[in-house]
Amino acid sequence: MDVQGIIAQVLPVIQQVIASLTKKSDAGIVGRILEAGSLATFVSEAAEKYKGNPVVDGIAKMFAEGPINEPDIDPNKLDVGSVLNQVANLDGVLAGLGGDTARGVKEFIYGMAEKVAGASGGGLFGSGQKVSADEAGFLNDLRARLGL
């Protein structure tokens, strides 16, 4: 099992999932800041929750070490259906990890998306409804594609 190779394939999918949520969100600039903060908090907590999962451990360490080189993803041009297809294809990437470890990676991805979606709502300073109908629909599709 090449953990670094798996991380290299999983991380871009995670980044596109988060960008898809950005596309579906009606949060403004303050909301985006809240979402980024919730992402950082989730990853630091996940390091403990998924302790022993080499993929989650590796991703958490990358986040802890500083900014991750993010691809230049324009959420407005992102094809969410294509992102969900990439999520579904993670089964092949995670196949060599074993059931519990692979499931932990999927739960990590979904938990991260759920945390970001619930971090901020629309309206003034992100105080409106926390998860929009579009975000909820995306989360349902994400859960299904992850097989959770």
Domain spans, the chain: 3-67+74-146
The residue length of the chain stands at 148
Residue 42 and residue 48: Cα distance in Å, rounded? 10
What pTM was estimated for this model as a whole? 0.83
Residue 106 neighbours by CB distance under 10 Å: 20
Q: How many helices (H) and strands (E) does the chain have?
A: 7, 0
Q: What is the pLDDT along the chain (148 residues), one digit of tens a residue?
A: 688 999 999 988 988 888 887 776 655 554 555 566 677 788 888 888 888 999 999 988 887 776 665 666 766 777 888 999 999 999 999 998 888 999 999 999 999 888 888 765 555 444 555 677 788 888 999 999 999 9
Q: CB-hemisphere CA count at 13 Å for 13? A: 26
